[in-house]
Amino acid sequence: KTVCVTGASGFIASWIVKFLLQRGYTVKASVRDLNDTKKTAHLLALDGARERLHLFKANLLEEGSFDAAIDGCEGVFHTASPFYHAVQDPQAELIDPALKGTLNVLGSCAKTSSVKKVVLTSSIAAVAYNGKPRTPDVVVDETWWSHPDFCREMKMWYVLSKTLAEEAAWKFVKEKGIDMVAINPAMVVGPLLQPTLNTSAAAILNLIKGAETFQNSTFGWVDVRDVANAHILAFENPSANGRYCLVESVKHYSEIVKLLRELYPGLKLPGKCADDEPFVPVYHVSKEKAKSLGLEFTPLEQSIKDTVESLKEKNFFN
């Protein structure tokens, strides 16, 4: 079977490509720059790549850019989307590539009869940010939707970009009769295949690189290998439908620091919170739907350990 992975060089996508090749798929993988070895060498070195990996150049903002990569594919894993927080122009840097890019990719899917199913890498960002209280008695699940107005009010531009992109994707596939499943992971950690630093791995690196304080934030956390697996399980399972939240556990940064301290007593870790406010409370995210795919979650402690080992191995810190 032939499938397409967009944004193949990224943290999550690299693992999806690895697992797809392992399972015998032929993979048409899109990257932005075919000549940038930092984005391609790790993919070309994967087992099975020489025989079954084909690279294509595509940019989210160029209409029709994905036609060649998608044509002839049975499945499309659309992961490409910018994930940064420090942006000058949220519309140009985050919202346009996320939203127009998703419609662009889906447009290419609609042009060919080969595509049977699309797996969209959305995010918990499109689920949990709507102003409803998130406290220890609350269980967030797939019925939740983030609210664009709330995101704009809070200036959460990345969250807004993912919300608008997933909303638009559902509207488009309903109109065109395309089968789609969305995967909604929380903060993704675990080992890096790519040589560059992605935003969620940077969240852990910042804690172990000598920061004085940790952020007063609470996030869901999940392992990158589980996220990649969920994408493939959702593609392969004919009864998979709708959205799948992926969260192993929800923890405040203080708890992540505690975990790191237990694992690595020698590390210099931040000793205090960045502000004097009460800690942002934890909440729950339902695992029921994810488990129905047959997914088992890697314990967060293991994921954090593997993240640190990977960051060491890749010389991001000593």
DSSP 280: P
> Rounded to an integer, what distance in angstroms lies between the CA atom of residue 124 and that of residue 166?
11
Q: How far is the CB of 54 from ligand NDP (least distance, A)?
A: 16
Residues 43-62 that bind ligand NDP (CB under 6 A): 59-61
User: In the set 3, 4, 5, 9, which binds ligand NDP (CB under 6 A)?
Assistant: 9
Residues 17-36 that bind ligand NDP (CB under 6 A): 32
10 binds ligand NDP (CB under 6 A): yes
Q: Which residues pair with 249 in a beta bridge?
A: 221
79 binds ligand NDP (CB under 6 A): yes
Q: How far is the CB of 215 from ligand NDP (least distance, A)?
A: 15
Q: Give the x/- contact pattern for ligand NDP in 183-222, rule: CB under 6 A.
A: --x-xx---------x-x----------------------
- Kind plus residue range of the DSSP H or E element containing 77: strand 75-78
Residues 25 and 2: beta-carbon distance below 8 Å: yes
Q: Which residue has the tokens 């499109």?
A: 126
Residues 254-313 that bind ligand NDP (CB under 6 A): none
> Rounded to an integer, what distance in angstroms lies between the CA atom of residue 105 and that of residue 100?
9
Of all residues in the shown chain, the one whose CB is closest to ligand NDP is 10
Q: How many CB atoms lie within 10 A of CB 214?
A: 22
Residues 199 and 84: beta-carbon distance below 8 Å: yes
Q: Is 162 an annotated catalytic residue?
A: yes
Cα-flanking dihedrals φ and ψ of residue 122, to 5°? -95, -140
User: In the set 75, 82, 190, 220, which binds ligand NDP (CB under 6 A)?
Assistant: 82
116 binds ligand NDP (CB under 6 A): no
229 binds ligand NDP (CB under 6 A): no
Q: How many CB atoms lie within 10 A of CB 183?
A: 27
134 binds ligand NDP (CB under 6 A): no
> What sign does the dihedral 87-171-167-249 (CA atoms) show?
negative
Give me the active site residues, please. Answer: 162
Residues that bind ligand NDP (CB under 6 A): 7, 9-13, 32, 39, 59-61, 79-83, 97, 121, 123, 162, 185, 187-188, 198, 200
